[in-house]
Amino acid sequence: MKKLILMGRSGAGKTTLSQALKGEQVEYKKTQYIDYEDFLIDTPGEYAENHDLGAALCLYAYEADVVALLIAADDEYSLFPPNITCMVNREVIGVVTKKNKGNPEIAERWLRLSGCKTVFFVDSKTREGVEEILKHLKNNTKPKK
């Protein structure tokens, strides 16, 4: 299975998605450090929100096969600038979390503007959409919309 790194702002659902992908019980947990285990690298939101810490994300991206940019459907803005995916020589996927809240279409547009060609929609608490990401990591297949 390909190794996946999760990047996004605080509250985007990175750790919750990480728990769902690993088949663990989903419960709130604040990631305080870069959590590197199994096929996942979970990162604190502060690393994406703070320019000085962003360099660590760049370094850890080289440890992964796939970079996932996460935006929650109820987010009011995107941290990711247009065409940011060209900065990484890895596959970059978009993940819209909390797909049953807010406006997932706007979150998808932000991810596509950032350069994500493949976008997944998930609700980590119900595990809806999680299996598609796992299949992608195993087979590199395109998600169904």
Per-residue tokens: 29: 């947990």
β-bridge mates for residue 145, sequence order: none
Residue 66 exposed, middle or buried by CB count within 10 Å (0-12, 13-18, 19+): buried
Residue 83 exposed, middle or buried by CB count within 10 Å (0-12, 13-18, 19+): exposed
For the chain, list residues with pLDDT below 70: 32-33, 140-145
Phi-psi region of 98 (alpha: psi -120 to 50; beta: other; left: phi over 0): left
Element (H, E) at 56: helix 51-61
Q: The whole model's pTM is what?
A: 0.89
Domains of the chain: 4-139 (3.40.50.300)
Percent of the chain clearing pLDDT 90 (strictly above): 65
